[in-house]
Structure 1
Amino acid sequence: MPLGQVVTLSELCAHLHVPIQTLYDLRSQGRGPRGFRVGRELRFRAGEIEAWLANLEAEDAQRHRPDAEAG
């Protein structure tokens, strides 16, 4: 059973250059990456992070389409 790469909350925050509270806030709003706890710390599969980031990019592109601004 392949496990894939797993990233801690601290590692993800360092990579994204955001405070830990930012990801806690996003997750509490239902807008953060799916994760799971191992002991007390959240962990995230690399594939879940990639999917979450792709979704954020798509949402941002949708908001900033030239025809969306004309509405």
Structure 2
Amino acid sequence: MEKLLNPAQAAEILSLSKSTLAKMRLSGRSPKYIKLGRRVAYRQSDLQDWIETQSFNSTAEYEAKRAF
């Protein structure tokens, strides 16, 4: 089983603040996460998958994806 990361660890890997990551969860734009009761956790593989989806060739491509 893959080790789970807490939001602080995930934010550090992504070079984001914990509050930015929390806001991204609320808006549905964050990496996949796991809820264990009240606890939020991340798989490192889900962070890597999300990073891969954040690659764009132009700002127009970014804006088109962001609209969804």
Q: Does the alignment reach a TM-score above 0.5?
A: yes
**Aligned position for 2:18:** 20
Distance in 2 between the 1:17 and 1:54 partners? 15
Distance in 1 between the 2:7 and 2:39 partners? 7
Aligned residues: 61
Distance in 2 between the 1:27 and 1:8 partners? 13
TM-score by length of 1: 0.67
- 1:12-51 counterparts in 2 under 5 A? 12-51=10-49
Structure 1 residues without counterparts, runs of 5 or longer: none
CA RMSD, aligned part only? Answer: 2.1
Higher Rg of the two aligned structures: 1
Q: Percent identity, please.
A: 18
TM-score by length of 2: 0.69
For residues 11-52 of structure 1, give each alpha carbon's deviation from its aligned partner in whole angstroms, at most 9, with x where no partner exists.
111223321110111111211011113354311111111111
Distance in 1 between the 2:57 and 2:28 partners? 19
